[in-house]
Amino acid sequence: MEIPRPKPLQFAGCLRIGCLCNGLVLLNSREDLFMWNPFTGCCKKVLSIEFLKQYSDSSIMHVSGLCYDSSTDDYKVVTWVRDGETGMACMIGSCKTKSWTKNCDPYYKEIVSSTSCH
């Protein structure tokens, strides 16, 4: 049996590959996040990252993750940002509701940048 090759992504602009979850690839542009299925070729905008413009480019931590939440049948995106005097803020995006929630953690003023996708 031959495994089908991924279909090329048709997108005008620059995209960065984020994480993988259940065969789906999280891609990001400067303004939006996309979910791409390389086997069907389907690509869909799932979240806007417009809110990140309130943080300077130097303060954004490129620590992101993608996971599936079976209790809500939703894919979630997790991103850490440096939040001024409060330290680090964890931004959790829901692909289902297309909304973000912010969780501040006063115990972690500094986080070493790394990437982990599960």
Task: Please write the tens of the pLDDT for every residue from 74-114.
Answer: 999 988 777 665 567 788 899 999 998 887 655 555 544 44
Give the number of domains in the chain. 1
pTM of the model: 0.70
Residue 110 lies in a domain: no
Residue 27 lies in a domain: yes
Residue 4 lies in a domain: no
Express each pLDDT in 64-83 by its tens digit.
789 999 999 999 998 877 76
Residue 1 lies in a domain: no
Residue 14, number of CB atoms within 10 A of its CB: 8
**Taking Cα atoms as reference points, which of 1, 3, 53 lies closest to residue 23?**
3
Residue 21 lies in a domain: yes
The domain of 49 spans 16-105
> Band of the pLDDT at 22, cuts 50, 70, 90?
very high
DSSP letter for 50, please. G
Angle subtended at Cα 57 by Cα 55 and Cα 58, rounded to the nearest 5 degrees: 100
List the beta strands (DSSP E) in the chain: 16-21, 24-28, 32-36, 43-48, 60-69, 74-82, 88-94, 99-105
